[in-house]
Amino acid sequence: VQLQASGGGLVQPGDSLRLSCASSGRTFSQYVMGWFRQAPGKEREFVAAISRDGARTNYVDSVKGRFTISRDNGKNTLWLQMNGLKPEDTATYYCAAVRTIVTAPIPMHSNDYDYWGQGTQVTVSS
């Protein structure tokens, strides 16, 4: 599967952005999808992930209540709605995919994902 992330940009604190991740192929619904981010000099960090059917989600504590992950399997697309952005959210954001069974736990570590998009830069600054 090939992933293409987009939607990043330069925003002010408190603003919103919606990231998109478009997937090629016809098996998008067979993949758990996740968003990770990496700031300069830091390790890649889990942000959010969503089950194959969209019924289950996981978030890192720092974004709970501000970010929402969603997907449309008919459109082969994953989104990350980011509200109330903070300077500490500044990073390159990556979408990722791993093929799993329906009932599998949602993985939260980068090593668990097999496919990655190219990243989109999000900068939050006044």
- Write out pLDDT tens, residues 69-114: 999 999 999 999 999 999 999 999 999 999 988 888 899 999 999 9
Q: What is the pLDDT of residue 88?
A: 96
For 26-78, how does the pLDDT look when each residue is reduced to its tens digit (9 = 90+)? 789 999 999 999 999 999 999 999 999 999 999 999 999 999 999 999 999 99
Task: Give the pair of three-digit tokens for residue 64.
Answer: 């709970």
At 53, phi and psi to the nearest 5?
Answer: -95, 0
User: 60: which residues sit within 8 A by CB, 6+ positions away?
Assistant: 45, 46, 47, 48
pLDDT for the residue 56 = 96
Separation of alpha carbons 32 and 55, rounded Å = 11
